[in-house]
A = this chain, B = another copy of it.
């Protein structure tokens, strides 16, 4: 593809994206293909000679689009919804063009420095400590794994050379994201050494249970190492009582990791700053701009108040990557598993500037208000019951019937092509879950979702 062909196809693609941004709801939100349908439609072998550029976009529309579940559809209310935004797409396009690898400061100063600057803006806007060190990773799963690895390094500095010591234990709630457990498995802690602390009626970690479990493990000769608290759990968006948890962690010298992957963005609204209460004492912290913060996948922010520990856990400098020391020339490869680092800060910078703090806060505020309205509609219909509080933009509820009844409702709604909703289990029962968060989702989409749910009974 010559630069001139790129220019031509690029303009076509931009026009397609502009139309898509304006009318993402022209497609069914949930892909209607059968498993294997796209695979079968594609040639089993690639072309020996290059194909004309215009075919790429044509096949994208013809073959790929029907197999896409449209996360950018205003009716996408499953998992944690996200948004495609113009500034985010521009950022990705330019990042792909420059295509730098910011593993070292020298290998692309812009990648490293812009990352530090925008993560500073985010700390300011959400009230997090100014002196935290930040880096952008791909996902919160990987970020949490890095937090646990640093926790291990702090608890047992020999683990780096000697290997994982037995008996190090991790505490997180029954409602924590599976990534905490998965990170612990990957790092060699072992699933058995992840304690699932019970939750209260609002699905928040119970500090009394946490304290008891730590005492019990200490008495058994184990070595409590880390507490991972959640600000906005996946099923119900509950906020663990971080101040009390942090106090317990401090008392026992445990690493405090905070998973604020989804809800962290709400702290852009001053009235939601409370969610970070106690987080200023965290040792590590993750939040995902690629969820609620209008930034394309992937962009997960990892902060730590103890970068020295993280660096001890991960730094390994081969001869071919040795550079001169300079305190302002940070080599981000020293702080994690991945060596390569793409220019993710660019899209985040564009998004933060194009919307501004207040613009982002207003969008988030609107989504939360819509969710509160939806909750009131659920409460007003005696056939339904809410199954959890809804502090943010997610509403959990169920039809007062069997699990199967509720699954049928979910299926019927999802078949509509207008709304995609998810489900979860709470207190052993299947529950429906409408998760707002796409920037284009308005009152009429939420009304329509509720209408479809009721019609599906």
The closest CB in chain B to the CB of A105 belongs to B35
Whether A45 is near chain B, meaning CB under 8 Å from some CB there, is yes
B72 lies within 8 A of A116 (CB): no
Whether A48 is near chain B, meaning CB under 8 Å from some CB there, is yes
Whether A309 is near chain B, meaning CB under 8 Å from some CB there, is no
How many whole Å from A49's CB to the nearest CB in chain B?
4
Q: Determine the chain B residues whose CB is within 8 A of the CB of A69 once the complex forms.
A: 100, 106-110
Q: Tell me which of A13, A85, A317 has the highest count of chain B C-beta atoms within 10 A of its own C-beta.
A: A13
B83 lies within 8 A of A99 (CB): yes
Please, how many angstroms separate the alpha-carbon atoms of A326 and B36 in the complex?
10
The closest CB in chain B to the CB of A65 belongs to B110
A1-B85, A56-B87 known; 19 new pairs, CB 8 Å cut-off, are: A11-B11, A13-B14, A13-B93, A36-B113, A39-B117, A67-B110, A69-B107, A71-B107, A84-B96, A84-B97, A99-B297, A141-B337, A141-B340, A142-B142, A160-B191, A178-B316, A178-B317, A182-B314, A290-B340
Secondary structure dominating the interface of A: helix
Whether A47 is near chain B, meaning CB under 8 Å from some CB there, is yes
28 pairs, CB–CB < 8 Å, chain A vs chain B: A1-B85, A6-B21, A6-B86, A10-B17, A10-B93, A13-B14, A13-B93, A17-B94, A21-B97, A30-B106, A39-B117, A46-B356, A48-B357, A67-B110, A68-B109, A71-B107, A82-B99, A84-B98, A92-B95, A93-B96, A95-B296, A100-B297, A160-B185, A162-B192, A163-B190, A163-B192, A164-B190, A185-B316
Please, how many angstroms separate the alpha-carbon atoms of A99 and B290 in the complex?
9
How many whole Å from A412's CB to the nearest CB in chain B?
16
Please, how many angstroms separate the alpha-carbon atoms of A140 and B20 in the complex?
34
Whether A218 is near chain B, meaning CB under 8 Å from some CB there, is no
Which residue of B30, B160, B320 is within 8 Å of A422 (Cβ)?
Answer: B320
Please, how many angstroms separate the alpha-carbon atoms of A193 and B161 in the complex?
8
The closest CB in chain B to the CB of A186 belongs to B337
Q: Determine the chain B residues whose CB is within 8 A of the CB of A350 once the complex forms.
A: 56
Q: Determine the chain B residues whose CB is within 8 A of the CB of A78 once the complex forms.
A: 107
Q: Tell me which of A113, A350, A423 has the highest count of chain B C-beta atoms within 10 A of its own C-beta.
A: A113
